[in-house]
Structure 1
Amino acid sequence: MRLESLVNQNYDNLNENDKIIIKQILICQREYRNFSCEKIANECNVSRATLLRLCRKIGLDSFSDLKYLLKNNQLEFVNNDNNFHDVCENYRLLMNELQKISFQDICKIIYDAETIYIYGTGNEQKSLAQEIKRIFLSVGKCVIDLFDIGEIEFMRESFQKSDLFIIISLSGETKAGIEIAKFINNHIHTISLTRLDNNTIATLCEYNLYVETQKLDTLQAISYEVVGAFYALLDLLHMNYIEYRRRKE
């Protein structure tokens, strides 16, 4: 379990002060992973007792559990001027992380769903939505991709409790995505697919899937975000779903 996942799952248990503390820990986790409980508490300007209460609020039994997550929470990406072999090594690290994901509960939700609805917040996300549609049409599921809030408002009357809505957002913080996640909340099962981070859309969804992404420098004055890990995640989800259905049938 990743620290960001625990925070998103228990976000409703946190007060505003807790959110400030956890945000600082997430930002500084590489620095904090070798700190003691007292030192992290001092860095966050809180007491040791407050930090321990926060650990319990996000489902940890002790500070030792937090320390373990901090030490194992970061992929140590190699970055050497976009060297091809380094990019390949980073993909290997990403695949190792993806293999740790348990798809059992999500496969059950997909299996039970009469209809799967999908929404992507941007162009790349809509491409991912098309890939999800292709994957699950191939195994006999009814899949409908929705373009915007207007289409979702129109289709909401057709939602059944067993249906599934998948929302895809790299950042998990787009205004339209948050609006849609709030709009469909409690009407249907929901899965978010986002970059691994503490983000609003993930906290609003019932289930979460995450991947790490990598940014590369380009010839222009902008960076390019490698999103291939999302497609690898979808392949693993597809294979796990096929195995799940074989066991059920």
Structure 2
Amino acid sequence: MTYFNQIDFNELTDVDQSIYGYISNNIEKVPYMRVREIAKESHTSSSSVMRFIRKIGFDSYNEFKYSFKETNSEPETVSQRQEILGVNNFSNDVYEVMEQVARLILQAENIVFFGMGSSGAMCDYAARRLATIGFNAHSLTDPTFPLYQKLKNTADNIVIVLSITGNTVEVVEAVNGYKNLDDFKIVAITSDKTSNIASMADYILAYRVEMIHLFHFNDMTSQLPTVFLIEELIDKVKNLDDEY
């Protein structure tokens, strides 16, 4: 059962294991049960159930039930995923801005895709895709990398920052070092047009997406909008390049 994949079972008491065993074998029932019902069925006590719930990272039973139900619900259908890419989930000027950014890329000496976590994985994908069509593209996922020193003797540099929230502290601090440099243009691909990253950007490709987190800190937010914008942007660059 993937829901409990972060538990260290060596730390579970016999009582904890009884509770775990009942929950894992009754996935469909648990979101609709009360604490005392789980205690009764697992032959434990309500206080033991609550201790187990707190041990796996939840502050309340309601929080546990909601997260448990979301984690073990049916996967999104194709049509639900298609809705993520609906026209209403992107800013009205997205293609206008994309055209401007694509023309900048055509003239750029260096294009750096910068992000962390799952956004970092998108940077690797974007840089590889852009390099494939002949552009000097790089992926940067380490905010401490001396990018300015590396590029200080170059001109026409573009930093394309990928951040779902637009407020990741390490990314914000790094981008802040480039925002007022004449040889750098900053493009933000983010879900929040009012975020710190967006406020420092020269161009913003914005989208809307539901934030999803498991166990408080595991980010499961879809990157489909980011992939869509990356592919549309790079296709635009290729089409403009072919015209010359």
TM-score (structure 1 length as normaliser): 0.58
Give the aligned partner of residue 164 of structure 2: 170
Residues 111, 136 of structure 2: 8 Å contact kept: yes
**Aligned AA (2:177):** F
Q: 1:203 aligns with which of 199, 203, 213?
A: 199
Q: Write out per-residue CA displacement over residues 92-143 of structure 1, whole angstroms, 9 at most, x where no aligned residue.
A: 52587479522211111100001112221x2211111111111110111112
Picking from 223, 227, 233, the partner of 1:231 is 227
Kindly indicate whether the alpha-carbon contact (under 8 Å) linking 1:192 and 1:207 is maintained by their aligned counterparts in 2.
Answer: yes
Deviation at 1:208, TM superposition (A): 1.1
- Structure 2: 5+ residue stretches without partners: 1-72
5+ residue gaps, structure 1, are 1-79
Evaluate the alpha carbon distance shift between residue 130 and residue 94 of structure 1 in structure 2; reply closer, same or farther with a 3 A threshold.
farther
Picking from 93, 96, 111, the partner of 2:86 is 93
Residue 220 of structure 2: SS of its match in structure 1? strand
Give the Cα–Cα distance (whole angstroms) in 2 for the partners of residues 217 and 126 of structure 1.
18
Q: Which amino acid aligns with 2:157?
A: D
Change in Cα spacing, 1:245 to 1:96, as seen in structure 2 (3 Å) is: farther
- SS of corresponding position for 1:101: helix
- Higher alpha-carbon Rg: 2
- With over 3 angstroms needed to count, the CA separation of the structure-2 counterparts of 1:88 and 1:170, relative to structure 1, is closer
Question: What fraction of aligned residue pairs are identical, expressed as a percent?
Answer: 13
Bigger mean CA deviation after superposition, 208-217 or 231-240: 208-217
2:107 is aligned with 1:112: yes
**Which aligned pairs between 1:66-77 and structure 2 lie closer than 5 A?**
none
Structure 1 window deviating more from structure 2 (86-95 vs 197-206): it is: 86-95
- AA in 2 matched with 1:129: C
Q: Which residue of 2 aligns with 1:180?
A: 174
Q: How does 1:128-167 map onto structure 2 within 5 Å?
A: 128-146=122-140, 147-160=142-155, 162-167=156-161
Amino acid at match of 1:110: I
Structure richer in helix, relative to its length: 1
After TM superposition, list the pairs within 5 Å mapping 1:49-88 onto structure 2.
Answer: 84=77, 87-88=80-81
- Equivalent position SS for 1:158: coil
User: Normalized against structure 2, the TM-score is what?
Assistant: 0.59
Question: In structure 2, what is the equivalent of residue 51 of structure 1?
Answer: none
Give the structure 2 partner of residue 15 of structure 1. Answer: none
Alpha-carbon separation, structure 2, partners of 1:153 and 1:241: 25
